[in-house]
Amino acid sequence: MIIAQITDTHILPKKQAWLDKPETDVTNRLKLVVEQLNKLVPRPDVLLFTGDTVQAGCKESYQHLKELLEPLTMPVYVIPGNHDNREEMRAAFSDKTYIPQDGFIQYIIDDYPVRLIGLDTNVPKEAYGILCKQRLLWLEKNLKTNPSKPTLLFMHHFPMKVGQKCFDNMICRLEDDLEKLIQSFPNVMGIVAGHYHKMCASLFGGRICFVAPSTAPTHYFASDEDNYVTAIDLVHPSFTIHRWMGGFQMVSECIQAIEYNKRLPMARRESDNE
């Protein structure tokens, strides 16, 4: 099974620029990622969209986002980030039967060899996230229903610190012991998340917590102890591929969305010694 992931696209209504800077060009960055995803061989089975899908959470932003996602040739599963509006997202994706009609936007996809569990860490009008006791009890209850199937959790806010002071104040806050819960279910392969705009990974509860790079531009941090954002890095937009290798093994790879015709073809090697 091949699981694609995009995160932090920060789409705005048409003709608006992210951070009021046209150079950020989040619309065309997402278009390029969609184009590259459709060209992948083999094609991903699913696409996980781990939040901050839009910047301001308004109806017009979600309408624009849906237009940009329309060309995708694979099922898309969305969860909210801190910039998303839960009810506007629910309305925009009302055609997606997996999204609950009310409450938190968290759900289970059980149609594939890997079980996918989306978690809602959104706290309205706050940059940090929360997995409250209610959401964690929901997770525990549903993990118990299929404790042997390989399972991947996906969420926007990651639960561990990364060493950047400004981001460590807005990670996912926990009202109960998520690490202990994960440790009690050996079939949980790990967590994939977004929010940071950079790729990083750590063990959490003895499993990998993989934070994917963003489609929108990323951040450049100051080197002093305040660790504030001093600039925006206009690096290539990125997406991630998670390959399930069977059992409880998964391999993750970050891919920059660049034009395929800029690659330098290589001749087939006759031996490994060349």
Give the residue ranges of DSSP H helices in the chain: 26-39, 59-69, 86-92, 133-143, 165-168, 178-183
Identify whether 167 is part of a domain: yes
87, HSE (Cβ side, Cα atoms, 13 Å): 1
Residue 268 lies in a domain: no
Q: Are 215 and 237 in contact (CB under 8 A)?
A: yes
The pTM for the full model equals 0.93
Domain that holds residue 6: 2-262
Q: Which residue has the tokens 């390029």?
A: 32
- Decide if 273 is inside a domain: no
211 domain-assigned: yes
Q: What is the pLDDT of residue 229?
A: 80
Give residue for tokens 């010694």.
273
Q: What percent of the chain has pLDDT over 90?
A: 85
Asked whether residue 163 carries a pLDDT value surpassing 50, the answer given is: yes
As a whole number of angstroms, the distance between CA 6 and CA 238 comes to 8
pLDDT per position as a tens digit, 34-76? 999 999 999 999 999 999 999 999 999 999 999 999 999 999 9
Beta bridge partners of 107: 118
pLDDT > 80? residue 24: yes
The CATH code of the domain that includes 159 is 3.60.21.10
Sole residue written with tokens 């009690």: 184
Number of domains in the chain: 1
Residue 267 lies in a domain: no
Predicted local distance difference test score (pLDDT) of residue 191: 98
- Phi then psi dihedrals of residue 85, to 5 deg: -105, 120
202 with 213: CB under 8 angstroms? no
Place 274 in a pLDDT band, splitting at 50, 70 and 90: very low
Domain assignment present for 14: yes
